[in-house]
Structure 1
Amino acid sequence: MKTRMLTALVTTATATALLAACSGGTKSASGAGGSKTLTLASVDQGSIEDVVKAFEKANPGVKVRYTTSGADQYQQQIRTQLASGTAPDVMSVWPGNGNPGATHVLAKPGYLRDLSDQPWAAKMPAAIKSVAQYEGKTYNAIFGQNGIGAVYNEQALKKAGLTPPDTWTKLLAFCRDAKAKGTPAFALGNQDNWVTQLVLYALVATTVYGPDRNFDQKMQAGRATFAKSEWATALDKYLTMEKTGCFQKNPLGTNYEASQQLAATGKTLGIVQGNWVIALLKGKNPEGTFTLKALPATDTPSQTLIPAAAGAGYGVNAKAKNPELALKFVKFVMSPQGMNLFVKKQGGLPSLPDTGYRADASLTELSAFITANRTVPFMDQLWPNAKVQQTMLSGLQEIFSDQSTPEELLKDMDSDYQAGS
């Protein structure tokens, strides 16, 4: 969110999570086939590499052939590969039901192996287990929790003489001040459509769920809609940020990779993204310090919530050519060693307790919000079908290009939501 990743989130971004990574490629091992060769497709670029190396080291003779790609590209390809029998043994899978690569979407037609018998499955917290399962069975090895917020470049902030805002009014002032100094507040890579949701999700968390934690249940019962709710307020605030100059010029002409470069090098003061982006920013600027903060949507700081939820995990192909090695890899991912490797590299938090992991200082505020129950799930994870999110993503791009309106978008999202699963 990576996420869709967001799920976008992240995650996600995710997406990327979500909710997700950019630029793809194949990192290899030995030739295909053979009982000691595992095939893997991942969106965790920047972190899967270390996990693969550790897995191969722990299993002498085993080789992993893997590819990495961005969330959009990955989600377009994985269903086709599964349907044609060409999918890898292990693949990235998002929680819940919000996008084409999500747990429900892939488990329903029988593409994923049931992982309920794996020892880690019973240990997952209830909130994470609920989005890792389909019809009571676990299909997704979710190793981390992700959050969406404003990730600031501390050196750029210091140079600009500005501090992260904690209210909506201060946020707009922060954007105006940053623009006046020639350094926009946030990079926004809306050329990649999954990125469009992240600012909106960060605002929806507070505007929609702050006053009504039961909003999802009301939507499911038909007692609430996107169009006639605070979703309209959040979308208006998103566009207000754009009009105020919170983002660099031409977000639609900027992709995810380019937005990272802007934030990492101090051409913007930060980026609204999932915590997974921190590792990528550090990769582009090893000397930089990056910190995730909540993106405020009201003038009462105590009301602010953060979207935080299970990030993308890994599923096993029901027709894996090497099922034993696939299960072994997933078990490693869910071990303290594998989980900590992932979350340390991604700047995330482990999904299971007692891993001995110490959160990076960049996530101090996210950890505090999770502990204080000031978080809400990535919105799409609880939607009845993947079409709602796809409509939202394309609609947001159309709004940014003046081809649609907020009213039209929310109306279309309501139509897709009411169509059910």
Structure 2
Amino acid sequence: MRRHTLTALAATTTAAALLAACSGGTEAGSGGSAGGSKTLTLASIDQGSVEDVVKAFEKANPGVKVRYTTSGADQYQQQIRTQLSSGTAPDVMSVWPGNGNPGATYVLAEPGYLRDLSDQAWAAKLPEAIKSVAQYDGKTYTAVFGQNGIGAVYNEQAMTKAGLTPPDTWTKLLAFCRDAKAKGTPAFALGNQDNWVTQLVLYDLVATSVYGPDRDFDQKMQAGQTTFADSSWKTALDKYVTMEKTGCFQKNPLGTNYEASQQLAATGKTLGIVQGNWVIALLKQKNPQGTFTLKALPATDDPAQTLVPAAAGAGYGVNAKAKNPELALKFVNFVMSPEGMNLFVKKQGGLPTLPDTGYRADPSLAELSRFITSNRTVPFMDQLWPNAKVQQTMLSGLQEIFSGQSTPEKLLNEMDTDYKAGS
């Protein structure tokens, strides 16, 4: 899996381990023939979680068999477009939200490969932040069942020992960093040796700085009415640099990888880590006695303005030329039902996209859940960019800023150049 691609990262995460979703594998239901009225074909990247959903679907539909394959994200993306164009794709398939990879909603819906799902009951209930990346040209094509968020994950035992509490304003955040540093325990672990990690703090700051005042920022970017360099992206990036200069992170983030940053936060060498909710399960593996809680990372002095990045994970689309369209629709509707959705998110350590599913989230995600249900989230920024080059430039540029080889102004201008190149 390309871990720098945050969209793919969130989509293929499980609570057990990120890497588990990147191995290959195949399972198949028995009986029936492909395309038969009682047989559904399915291709999925949700290894470790789709298996339980398939079993529950078959149990709820006696006589139905699901013939399915599972594979890692990279392998899947290489295959699915070819299968669709050659007419050999399955009835139902994993589809990423937004844009930017060969299996994404925009990429597959534009040429007509996916069935319009706008007429399904759950489509109108999707939160706006999810709907925006599950749709193409105003129509819903992807059944997105789960979502993940980015925030500050605190080690509760380390916080108690330091006598500090999570800050909820920008001014308090900088004071928190100074106090933590003075006590000899830096506030946050930062594993910028792995370049995909560099974006997480920035995305948190961008969510509030950019989208707080302007929820239509992405539409204005697409229309050429604004740029990264001439927007509050510069404010957010300057604040990221300010956090580094204030001592919010351990020494030498560029010399620390993702694995090592987990170890620092899990063992209380830092008070926390800015990461996605998927990291909590990994921290618990390293410190089973530890308690970890995700909180929003503030970027202004008004807590009511704070937003968090929350990404729609990969969902499911229906092949426009499915051999068994009725059963395909029945499956995606099961995925979007409380039973199907809760099965998935429990296995993956995320949160359901629809309210009122009866799902009891892990207490560590209580604040993230509140932000999601109150519509105080924005999609991961790269999900609405026209190409993957923008993100690659950002990741390498952030490493260069941390090594003193670049500046926020230079990076944002480079991102603008790549954005304007289009898809």
TM-score, structure 1 normalization: 0.79
**Rounded Cα–Cα distance in structure 2 between residues aligned with 1:135 and 1:186:** 40
The secondary structure found in structure 1 opposite 2:224 is coil
| Letter paired with 2:339 | Q
CA RMSD of aligned residues (A): 3.8
Report the equivalent of 1:21: 18
Q: Is the 8 A contact 2:296 2:307 kept in 1?
A: yes
Report the equivalent of 2:187: 185
1:380 is aligned to 2:382 = yes
Deviates more, 1:225-234 or 1:191-200: 191-200
Instruction: Name the CA shift for 1:132/1:214 in 2 (closer, same or farther; >3 Å).
Output: closer
Deviates more, 1:264-273 or 1:287-296: 264-273
| Letter paired with 2:58 | N
The secondary structure found in structure 2 opposite 1:417 is helix
Q: Is the 8 A contact 1:14 1:276 kept in 2?
A: no
Report the equivalent of 1:107: 109
Deviates more, 1:90-99 or 1:204-213: 90-99
- Superposition pairs for residues 22-421 of structure 1, below 5 Å? 22=19, 24-29=22-27, 40-42=43-45, 48-56=47-55, 58-59=57-58, 64-68=68-72, 74=73, 76-85=74-83, 89=90, 92-98=94-100, 101-109=103-111, 112=114, 114-116=116-118, 120-315=122-317, 330-421=332-423
Report the equivalent of 2:62: none
Query: Could you report, residue by residue, the CA deviation over 1:194-249 in whole angstroms, capped at 9, with x for unpaired residues?
Result: 33221111101222233333433433343322112221121111122223332234
Deviates more, 1:383-392 or 1:196-205: 383-392
**Rounded Cα–Cα distance in structure 2 between residues aligned with 1:232 and 1:307:** 18
**Rounded Cα–Cα distance in structure 1 between residues aligned with 2:401 and 2:262:** 23
Cα deviation, residue 295, structure 1: 0.6
The secondary structure found in structure 1 opposite 2:262 is helix
Instruction: Name the CA shift for 1:122/1:163 in 2 (closer, same or farther; >3 Å).
Output: closer
Cα deviation, residue 166, structure 1: 1.6
Query: Could you report, residue by residue, the CA deviation over 1:338-370 in whole angstroms, capped at 9, with x for unpaired residues?
Result: 211233344433212332223332233223334
Query: Could you report, residue by residue, the CA deviation over 1:50-81 in whole angstroms, capped at 9, with x for unpaired residues?
Result: 4423423553775754334xxxxx3x544432
The secondary structure found in structure 2 opposite 1:13 is helix
Instruction: Name the CA shift for 1:333/1:259 in 2 (closer, same or farther; >3 Å).
Output: farther
Cα deviation, residue 302, structure 1: 3.0
Q: Name structure 2 gaps, 5 residues minimum.
A: 60-64
Cα deviation, residue 378, structure 1: 2.7
Q: Is the 8 A contact 1:4 1:99 kept in 2?
A: no
The secondary structure found in structure 2 opposite 1:367 is helix
Cα deviation, residue 112, structure 1: 4.8
Q: Is the 8 A contact 2:191 2:197 kept in 1?
A: yes
Query: Could you report, residue by residue, the CA deviation over 1:23-64 in whole angstroms, capped at 9, with x for unpaired residues?
Result: 53235546999857966453x6xxx52442342355377575
Q: Name structure 1 gaps, 5 residues minimum.
A: 69-73
**Rounded Cα–Cα distance in structure 2 between residues aligned with 1:31 and 1:333:** 18
**Rounded Cα–Cα distance in structure 1 between residues aligned with 2:255 and 2:320:** 39
Aligned residues: 405
Query: Could you report, residue by residue, the CA deviation over 1:314-350 in whole angstroms, capped at 9, with x for unpaired residues?
Result: 3456788998887665444322122112333444332
Q: Is the 8 A contact 1:27 1:65 kept in 2?
A: yes
**Rounded Cα–Cα distance in structure 2 between residues aligned with 1:392 and 1:14:** 21
Instruction: Name the CA shift for 1:177/1:329 in 2 (closer, same or farther; >3 Å).
Output: farther
**Rounded Cα–Cα distance in structure 1 between residues aligned with 2:331 and 2:287:** 31
Amino-acid identity (%): 75
Cα deviation, residue 95, structure 1: 1.8
TM-score, structure 2 normalization: 0.79
Cα deviation, residue 252, structure 1: 3.6
**Rounded Cα–Cα distance in structure 1 between residues aligned with 2:340 and 2:167:** 36
| Letter paired with 1:53 | D
Cα deviation, residue 106, structure 1: 3.6
Deviates more, 1:158-167 or 1:298-307: 298-307
Cα deviation, residue 132, structure 1: 0.8
**Rounded Cα–Cα distance in structure 1 between residues aligned with 2:271 and 2:42:** 39
Cα deviation, residue 382, structure 1: 3.2
Deviates more, 1:195-204 or 1:369-378: 369-378
Q: Which has the larger radius of gyration?
A: 2
| Letter paired with 1:212 | D
**Rounded Cα–Cα distance in structure 2 between residues aligned with 1:368 and 1:279:** 20
Q: Is the 8 A contact 1:275 1:346 kept in 2?
A: no
